[in-house]
Structure formats: structure tokens, C-alpha cells
């Protein structure tokens, strides 16, 4: 599952503690075919109004944008490839310092901006289109108090889970968006505005070697299996096995967590 979010159905918290640079905003997003600039996620200072946001440009370029804004001035980095409306994309916005922000799409094709924008601590984190009515689909969002490397951005896009990455200890908050909000509960409890609707999850299988395979399922740690036939095995044989080929009468709805 993933969540469809806009200004009437949004998830946010004013208690996400980011001390300043460096930090990274990570997540999976699917956008509709719109011409307006559409907010995907961001973090801001309640006291100063400074903001670091991730946008879908939607203006013909359809790029993903990482923007730091203080007052009416801003610096923005744009991906070198566009987002395709209706398709899931992994975005990693890396705010390394006062004078460097990058954004990766699907593990590469990054853009960089070097305008100088010093910020102080931030705590207001939101995901979804907080400032507009256009619904965007969101899954597996996180805030990491570190500058994620190019290699790790590619690994995340290939399905490697944030919580099993070298940056897990730097993860301030993480939401899988697979079922209820505030799951698995890493970081402060978030406020839910409205009634976010569930939608299908990005379909990626992370395998040994870091390759992505299109499947009717998604597996990551902590392990979930959705819409497939599974069975448990004794510890000596492993903890989870995928058995047989799913058919209409063998699909298990929802998820299995072990």
C-alpha cells in the first residue's frame, strides 16, 4: 500500500528534530499529469520560515526539484531527467551544506545547486502536497540527518531499505505508508489531517546484488509480503519462503509481517 495525499489529506509533525545541514529527504512518489508545481515533501523552521522542499515541476520539464527557500529567495537543484506522470519514482534530495543541494531521481540523473542559504534547526516535516489539491502518491519517506551518498541513493532506488542501510542510525523519522500512519513508529508521532486514501505500493523486489525486478510483490526489511502465497519454514531452512505461483484463489490480501 501507499498513500494519496494533498492539502485535505496530509501527514505532518512539528517534532522532527533536524539540527541543520547535512540532511536528506528520501521517498517514493507518483504524480499525475499536471502543469502546476506540486509539493511532494519538505521540512521547515516554524520560527524562521526557512524551508527545504521537494517538488514536481509540472511545467513542461516535469523535473524533480530540491529547493531551499528563505523569505522570497531560493536555490533549486533539478534532476536531469523528468518524472513520468503515473509512474513511481524514487527521489533523494540531499541538502549537504549552506551552498550545496542535490536531487537524485531513480538513483542517478542528479542535479546540483550551489547558491548559499544558511539555515538553523528545523522541525516541521510534511509529506504529500500540503499546499495544493492535487493528489500525489507517497511511499517510504524518511528524513536522514546525513548527506546520503550517490551510491546509497542508487541502492535505495534499487529497493534497498532505509532501515537496513548504513544511514539507519542517522534516520530521524521513517514512514513506510504500507498500512496505518506512524508505522513502524520511528521518530515522533505524526498528525493525520483528513482521511488519506490507500493506493498500490511501488513494485520492486530487492535481491542479492542490488538489482530491481518488477514483481507483483515488494520485499524489504522489516519483511512484508503482499498479494502472494507464502509459507513459513523452520529456522534451519529460513524464515520465509515464496511458494508456487499465485492465482486468484491463492492470493492473501493485505500483508504478512514476520
pLDDT of residue 182: 79
pLDDT for residue 240? 41
Distance CA 183, CA 186 (A): 7
What's the pLDDT at 150?
97
pLDDT of residue 60: 83
Q: Are 12 and 130 in contact (CB under 8 A)?
A: yes
pLDDT string in tens for the chain (258-residue length):
799 999 999 899 999 999 999 999 999 999 999 999 999 999 999 999 999 999 999 988 999 999 999 999 999 999 999 999 999 999 999 999 999 999 999 999 999 999 999 999 999 999 999 999 999 999 999 999 999 999 999 999 998 889 989 999 999 999 988 766 778 888 999 999 999 998 887 765 443 344 443 333 444 444 444 444 444 434 333 334 333 333 343 333 333 333
**Every domain of the chain and the residues it spans:** 2-197
pTM of the predicted protein model: 0.80
Q: Do the beta carbons of residue 196 and residue 4 sit within 8 Å? A: yes
Task: List the one residue out of 106, 108, 67 whose CA is nearest residue 83.
Answer: 106
Q: Can you read off the three cell numbers belonging to residue 181?
A: 500512519
pLDDT at residue 179, as a whole number? 63
Domain 2-197 -> CATH class: mainly beta
Q: What is the CA radius of gyration of the chain?
A: 18
**pLDDT for the residue 204:** 57
**Can you spell out the DSSP letters for 59-89?**
SSS--EEEEEEETTEEEEEE-SSPPPTTS-E
C-alpha–C-alpha distance, residues 142 and 238, integer Å: 29
Amino acid at each position: 500500500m501507499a498513500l494519496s495525499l494533498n492539502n485535505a489529506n496530509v501527514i505532518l509533525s512539528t517534532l522532527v528534530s533536524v539540527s541543520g545541514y547535512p540532511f536528506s529527504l528520501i521517498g517514493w512518489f507518483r504524480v499525475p499529469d499536471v502543469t502546476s508545481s506540486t509539493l511532494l515533501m519538505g521540512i521547515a523552521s516554524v520560527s524562521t520560515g526557512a524551508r527545504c522542499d521537494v517538488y514536481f515541476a509540472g511545467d513542461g520539464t516535469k523535473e524533480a526539484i530540491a529547493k531551499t527557500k528563505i523569505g522570497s529567495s531560493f536555490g533549486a537543484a533539478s534532476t536531469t531527467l523528468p518524472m513520468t506522470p503515473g509512474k513511481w519514482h524514487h527521489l533523494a534530495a540531499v541538502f549537504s551544506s549552506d551552498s550545496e543541494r542535490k536531487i537524485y531521481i531513480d538513483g542517478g540523473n542528479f542535479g546540483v545547486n550551489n547558491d548559499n542559504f544558511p539555515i538553523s534547526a528545523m522541525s516541521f516535516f510534511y509529506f504529500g502536497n500540503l499546499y495544493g489539491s492535487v493528489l500525489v502518491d507517497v511511499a517510504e519517506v524518511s528524513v536522514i540527518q546525513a548527506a546520503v551518498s550517490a551510491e546509497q541513493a542508487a541502492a535505495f532506488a534499487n529497493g534497498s531499505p532505509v532501515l537496513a542501510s548504513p544511514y539507519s542510525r542517522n534516520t530521524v523519522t521513517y514512514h513506510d505508508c504500507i498500512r496505518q500512519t506512524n508505522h513502524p513508529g520511528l521518530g515522533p508521532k505524526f498528525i493525520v489531517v483528513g482521511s488519506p486514501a490507500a493506493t498500490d505500493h511501488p513494485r520492486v523486489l530487492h535481491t542479492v546484488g542490488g538489482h530491481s525486478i518488477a514483481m507483483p510483490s515488494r520485499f524489504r526489511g522489516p519483511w512484508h509480503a503482499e498479494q502472494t502465497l507464502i509459507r513459513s519454514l523452520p529456522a534451519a531452512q529460513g524464515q520465509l519462503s515464496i511458494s508456487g505461483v499465485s492465482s486468484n484463489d491463492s492470493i492473501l490480501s493485505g500483508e504478512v509481517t514476520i
